[in-house]
Amino acid sequence: MEQAFPREDIPEELWDRVKPLLPAEPLRTKGGRPRVAARKILAGVVYRLRTGCPWKALPPAFGSGATCHRRYSEWARAGVFRHLWTELLREYDRSQGIAWDWCSLDSATVKAPKGGT
């Protein structure tokens, strides 16, 4: 099965939605190793979320797993994924409509120890 885009990249449409939500890149005044491009990191995050592989097992095309995880954590703290989710929900509601009066939550049922309530 052929992929719609190379695994090392993400679709232009997704990048256009996420890029404005990303925090500004910090200025580097002391030199050092160049920062991995945000788009490459996002591709690594998408790859990891799609495959479920551990961060350390990310292919080298995305930079190191530690770098991807660190940037993912920074973006999560900055609310990037929450804002993206909200934007996508609004768009879906406009185009398809969401039945807000009906919803389901994921749950788990476990046996209470010793027959507790």
Looking up tokens 């990191």 gives 41
What domain count does the chain have? 1
pLDDT in tens, 29-68: 888 888 899 999 999 999 999 899 999 999 999 989 999 9
What pLDDT was estimated at residue 57?
94
Query: Does residue 112 fall inside a structural domain?
Result: no
Per residue in 66-117, pLDDT (tens digit) is 999 999 999 999 999 999 889 888 888 899 888 877 776 777 777 777 765 6
Asked if residue 114 is part of any domain, the answer here is: no
Res 6: pLDDT: 58
**Angle subtended at Cα 88 by Cα 92 and Cα 20, rounded to the nearest 5 degrees:** 145
- b/e per residue, 24-52, with b = 16+ CB within 10 A? eeeeeeeeeeeeeebbbbbbbbbbbeeee
pLDDT at 7 over 70: no
How far is residue 100's CA from residue 93's CA, in Å, rounded to a whole number? 9
What is the reported pLDDT for 20? 92
What range does the domain containing 85 cover? 1-19+35-97
